[in-house]
Structure 1
Amino acid sequence: MKLYVGIDLHSNNSVLVIIDKNDKVIYSKRLPNDAQVILGVLAMYKEQIDTIAVESTFNWYWLVDALQAEGYEVRLVNTAAVVVYDGLKYSGDFADARHLAHLLRIDLLPCGYIYPKEPRALRDLARKRAQLVRQKTTQLLSIKNLLMRNLGRDTPSYTIKTWTAEQVAALPLLPEQLLALQANWTVMQALAQQIQAVEAELLRQLKPCKDFQLLKTVSGIGDILSMTICLETGDITRFDSCGNFTSYARMVTSKRESNGKKKGEGNRKCGNRYLCWAFMEAAHFAIGSDELIKRFYQRKCAKNLKVVAMKAVAHKLARACYNMLKDGVEFDVKRAFN
């Protein structure tokens, strides 16, 4: 008899429910977030377990990796797409876990992609780099604001980045103001060193990758954008079509129509924000470096707002990248923008 498992995952515990083909609850208990404890419970039913559904929360890595290492078939639940009957008078962790197992049994469970463990670590390292860059920018802007308030001048960012400790100490500021600026500058320098170290490791591992080199042939895409697109995309075959990929990259509109009238819109932020950023940045650089893309952008600007025209260029680049990765061919600007 096949059994189906639903796990409602939390920060410090998990609710595990096992049901049979008739939706009868075989096991139901709240367990600590300990892989050995959970595996010990599942081991009693291992020969009968068909599939395990795990809620996609912020901390799903450790549980999914442990289950897959033991040979279980795991489904990562897309919690945003799980539909629960609105008329229910009661809802709780045990009911949620049982509902996941039920949807799994009837094959109606909306699932997400489980990024493989090793490349996932590299992707997360790239995301860490992006976080450090944002923090570095925060320190830089704080320095610029301090100088503007107290000296009345806008110091260029590139000038601040090249300052030495002696140049910072020589600024005509009060001791308290200088101490505040030195704190920002010291943190900014430390972040720059860490960003450089992370980038070096990422590029060392990605340079032999064929997809990484292919993406660099696209107008406007260099090392950092190629790295981001390559790692955030993962296995291109997980997307059934070009439209699915561009939707995942937030390159398509989201609206609902009926009888030619707009009735609302969906979640425009559903998708991968890192891919969205990468393609918008690539569009910005491509417009400045490729004449054909620039003319396409200008035609769009004549009919729409600039931001819409920029998004149209980014959408074209996203479609081109999908087909390049799928077919293993280099970028052809005439094919992409004609």
Structure 2
Amino acid sequence: MELMGQKDQGNLTTLLEFLLLGFSDVPDLQGFLFWIFLIIYMIILIGNNLIIIITKVDTSLHTPMYFFLRNFSCLEICYVSVTIPRLLADLWRQKRTISFLGCATQMYFFLIFGATECFILTAMAYDRYVAICNPLLYSLIMNTQLCTQLAAGCWISGIPVHIESIHLIFSLPFCGSHQLDHFFCDIFPVLKLACEDTYMIEMLIYVITVLVVPIPFMLILGSYVKIISTILKLPSATGRAKAFSTCSSHLMVVALFFGSATITYMRPKSSQSERMDKFLSLFYTIVAPMFNPIIYCLRNKDVMVALRKFLSK
């Protein structure tokens, strides 16, 4: 199999393809993993498409909260579709090569949608903050124009964030092994194959990660400190319970996504291992997106009522 073309620089080679090892270390489980991941992918697609449909057709859900939830569900479909179809194809056909350009494209869109998810979750937290802390001004502040601008900003802001880092990563010379010990083209597994010092690129990645992960998380945390403080001051126990219920789903999704992303991209390089990286990547690329529509449906009475009405028709 010809995977490399020789350069005139000693032992350096120009990689034309990477070999995604994926789960080749457990060959007896390839078929089982294929069906498990296929079922999870179908759950994600069906669950998020149902949320998109019912929040669109049910007029009682035409509020800023469900507008952002609809955007979040669209994003989840895009996010998982960057990695899972490729993983399923590799498990099915046992051909794990991915072109150099294909690897760069997959990494770029994965990072874009990951950044967009951080921003959308932050916008959703701001919506809950205004709804609970400024209820009398909610409809005035969260008007259609602002919601559209926030959503558009979340989708667009992720596009330029990673252009420079992707360019620098795939401008590196790669030498020796072309085997990528991962199931998709993630940053650090690719950097391990480079034959130049990657310290500056890693520092750039950490800076971008701080901008995209901890800062939005701190904004969300600050919003919920204000929200919880306001809820605890409500005189009615029923009012407090209702306010908590509208926030609990979002909090659970935030904890799942930001927790796994922070551990993966912010932990020291010395503590990283291929097996742990794969496990964490599985969690935030496949497992967490599977739970998101379940969390938002089962823990939201309005969505469940709208879902029953939709299914009954």
Task: Give the TM-score normalised by the residue count of structure 2.
Answer: 0.26
In our comparison, the structure showing a higher alpha carbon Rg is 1
Task: Give the TM-score normalised by the residue count of structure 1.
Answer: 0.24
Higher relative contact order (CA 8 A, sep 6+): 2
Higher relative strand content = 1
